[in-house]
Amino acid sequence: MQDCRGNALSTASPAAVAALDSATAQLNAFHGDPVGTLVAALKAEPDFIMGHAFLAAVFATAMDRTFESYTDRALSAAGPLLPHANERERAHVAAARLFADGDFERATETWGRIAIDHPRDIFAVQMAQQGDFFLGHSIMLRDRVARVLPHWNESVPGYGFMLGMHAFGLEEAGDYRRAEAAGREAVTRDPQDAWGAHAVAHVMEMEGRADEGVAWLRATQAGWDRDGLLACHNWWHMAVAELDRGDLGALLAIYDERILTLGLAQAMQLCDAAALLWRVWTLGHDVGDRWTAVADAWEARAEQGLYAFNDMHAAMAFAATRRDAAYGRLERAAARVAEGRFVNALAAREAGLPVMRGVWAFGRGDWQGVLDHLVPALPKLAIGGGSHAQRDAVHWTATEAAIRAGDRALAAALTAERLSWKAGSPVNRAWAARAAAMG
Ligand SMILES: [Fe+2]
């Protein structure tokens, strides 16, 4: 049989194929319950290898060892089915296994190669883009999609999602005009395309269009909020835009009523929560006892040693709550990763550990220590994963520390840098004014 885009599947079950098509569309839109859709189908059709490969990939790329047993179970179920699978399905299982084993680079290249050989395998494209995101491959976020776009047109199911993925890649590559156009078209084609809406929010964040960012996310909220898998992160974007507009009350309302309501059950949500509180807290604002729940949830993950980006955000929660023991466990785990194999070791060495140490220094009020760790890491942050907007938390921290350290020249330089790409930002203008007033 074939999926709705003509990719061959080793199953004779129309119900399994329909479930895969449905789960893929849900994942593409970050909407609904793609895992539940496939789990139900696999109960009836346990030999459906692409279903297991799909689940393994989704669980492995959650970047949270909390889901590790689910990944293992899916890979174990896929193993005995490999002799009867086609080459594409075998490659999907191999990619998920590589990712689960920590070889994010080879996993991403494997998904990327599947997409080259089967350019209408949108799941492979999406997984490759997720991999590129975790690896900080800004240009590949764009070009992994561009490689296969000639094989797509609006008659192919999921074309809008391809535009949404391309939009995010264009944004990360700095092509804001084409990114915004593609993202808007994606959302017009499917208002539930949370990734497309997210791409446009990124454009507005990077261009300092905070008013438009809030308005865009409010206008598209009905599509990405309810049953949305990216809802927490899109609320994070809205809150960051509110902070840029100087509306702390709106930011905290989004945090309390939206982000917390969605829960702190996954590492990605915890990154959003920590990143938001950190930005507010480092500017000197009181966030009440909001750190406690975030730090508690990170404590349970302090020794995962999985992903430098996670560890940076765990460090923020521990620094703000002065949790020495938890920070110690986190740093030791990251130091072990730095000695290991794969790109993760490089990420921990070049980005994870320096950022962690800089953030921890900030919590202790050691402003020069912050600068010693963070400034040399600034050019290399991408290897730690995430988007430009997310990684800006590090530059943000360094800017505030430069002012508090009394390093007038560095404060002027960092604020000039920030204003060069986001001149209208009240936060950036406030920093510039403080830097200019330094004696
Ligand atoms: Fe984002």
Give me ligand 1 centre to Cα 203, in Å: 10
Q: How far is CA 234 from CA 19, 321, 400, in A?
A: 27, 26, 25
Q: Rounded to whole angstroms, how far apart are CA atoms 312 and 307?
A: 9
Contact 48, 14 (CB under 8 A): no
Query: How many angstroms separate the CA atoms of 204 and 100, rounded?
Result: 34
In the chain, the percentage of residues whose pLDDT exceeds 70 is 100
What digits encode the pLDDT tens for the residues 82-91?
999 999 999 9
Measured in Å, residue 393 CA sits from the centre of ligand 1 at 13
State the distance from the centre of ligand 1 to the C-alpha of 51, rounded, in angstroms: 28
Separation of CA 50 and ligand 1 centre (Å):
29
CA of 168 to the centre of ligand 1 (A): 9
Distance 386 CA to ligand 1 centre (A): 8
Measured in Å, residue 390 CA sits from the centre of ligand 1 at 7
Going by C-beta distance under 8 Å and a sequence separation of 6 or more, which residues neighbour residue 264? 270, 273, 293, 294, 297
| pLDDT-based confidence at residue 98 (cuts at 50, 70, 90) | very high
Side-chain-side CA neighbours of 317 within 13 Å: the count stands at 28
Instruction: Tell me the CA–centroid distance for residue 366 and ligand 1, in Å.
Output: 30
Residue 439 in this model has a pLDDT that exceeds 90: no
* 392 Cβ neighbours under 8 A, 6+ residues apart: none
- What is the C-alpha separation between 421 and 109, in angstroms, rounded? 32
Distance 155 CA to ligand 1 centre (A): 29
Strand partners, 228: 31
Total-model pTM: 0.96
Dist. CA 325–CA 331, nearest whole Å: 10
Ligand 1 centroid to 234 CA: how many Å? Answer: 7
Structure tokens at 10: 């080793």
Q: Please give the distance, rounded to the nearest whole angstrom, from the Cα atom of residue 176 to the centre of ligand 1.
A: 14
pLDDT of residue 38: 97
Tokens 């993760």: give the residue. 344
- Mean local confidence (pLDDT), 342-358: 95
What is the 178 CA–ligand 1 centroid distance (Å)?
17
Tokens of 299: 């404590």
Ligand 1 center–CA 216 separation, angstroms: 14
Q: Which two tokens stand for residue 388?
A: 């430009």
* Rounded Cα distance, 169 and 154, in Å: 20
Q: How high does pLDDT run on average in the chain? A: 96
Q: Express each pLDDT in 195-252 by its tens digit.
A: 999 999 999 999 999 999 999 999 999 999 999 999 999 999 999 999 999 999 999 9
Ligand 1 centroid–CA 198 distance in Å is 6
Output the 3-class SS for the chain: CECCCCCECCCCCHHHHHHHHHHHHHHHHCECCHHHHHHHHHHHCCCCHHHHHHHHHHHHCCCCHHHHHHHHHHHHHHHHHHHHCCHHHHHHHHHHHHHHCCCHHHHHHHHHHHHHHCCCCHHHHHHHHHHHHHHCCHHHHHHHHHCCHHHCCCCCCCHHHHHHHHHHHHHHCCCHHHHHHHHHHHHHHCCCCHHHHHHHHHHHHHCCCHHHHHHHHHHHHHHHCCCECCHHHHHHHHHHHHHHCCCHHHHHHHHHHHHHHHCCCCHHHHHHHHHHHHHHHHCCCCCCCHHHHHHHHHHCCCCCCCCHHHHHHHHHHHHHCCCHHHHHHHHHHHHHHHCCCHHHHHHHHHHHHHHHHHHHHHHHCCHHHHHHHHHHHHHHHHHHCCCHHHHHHHHHHHHHHHHHHCCHHHHHHHHHHHHHHCCCCHHHHHHHHHHHCCC
Distance 233 CA to ligand 1 centre (A): 6
Structure tokens at 346: 């490089």
CB 85 within 8 A of CB 10: yes
Per-residue pLDDT of 316-349, as tens digits, reads: 999 999 999 999 999 999 999 999 989 999 999 9
Question: How far is ligand 1, taken at its centre, from the CA of residue 80, in Å?
Answer: 38
From ligand 1's centre to the CA of 438, what distance in Å? 34
Burial class (CB within 10 angstroms; exposed 0-12, middle 13-18, buried 19+) of 176:
middle
Residue reference for tokens 């430069």: 402
Residue whose structure tokens are 């993925």:
165
Give the Å distance between the CA of 173 and the centre of ligand 1: 14
237 CA → ligand 1 middle, Å: 7
Cα(217) to centroid of ligand 1, in Å? Answer: 12
* Phi, then psi, of 57 in degrees rounded to 5: -65, -45
Alpha carbon of 387 to ligand 1 centroid (Å):
6
Percent residues over pLDDT 90 in the chain: 96
Mean pLDDT of 364-371: 98
Q: How far is Cα 195 from Cα 2, in angstroms, rounded to an integer? A: 26
Return the structure tokens found at 276.
Answer: 């938001």
Q: How far is the CA of 236 from the centre of ligand 1 (A)?
A: 8
For ligand 1, the distance from its centroid to the CA atom of residue 41, given in whole angstroms, is 31
Spell out the residues 6+ positions from residue 383 whose beta carbon is closer than 8 angstroms to its own: 135, 136, 308, 343, 346, 347, 350, 351
pLDDT tens by residue, 375-418:
999 999 999 999 999 999 999 999 999 999 999 999 999 999 99
Ligand 1: centre distance to CA 408 (Å):
32
- Distance (Å) from CA 360 to ligand 1 centroid: 24
Residues written for the chain: 439
State the distance from the centre of ligand 1 to the C-alpha of 40, rounded, in angstroms: 30
283 Cα: distance to centroid of ligand 1 (angstroms): 21
Compute φ and ψ for 101, nearest 5 degrees: -80, -5
- pLDDT tens-digit readout, 133-156: 999 999 999 999 999 999 999 999
Distance 224 CA to ligand 1 centre (A): 13
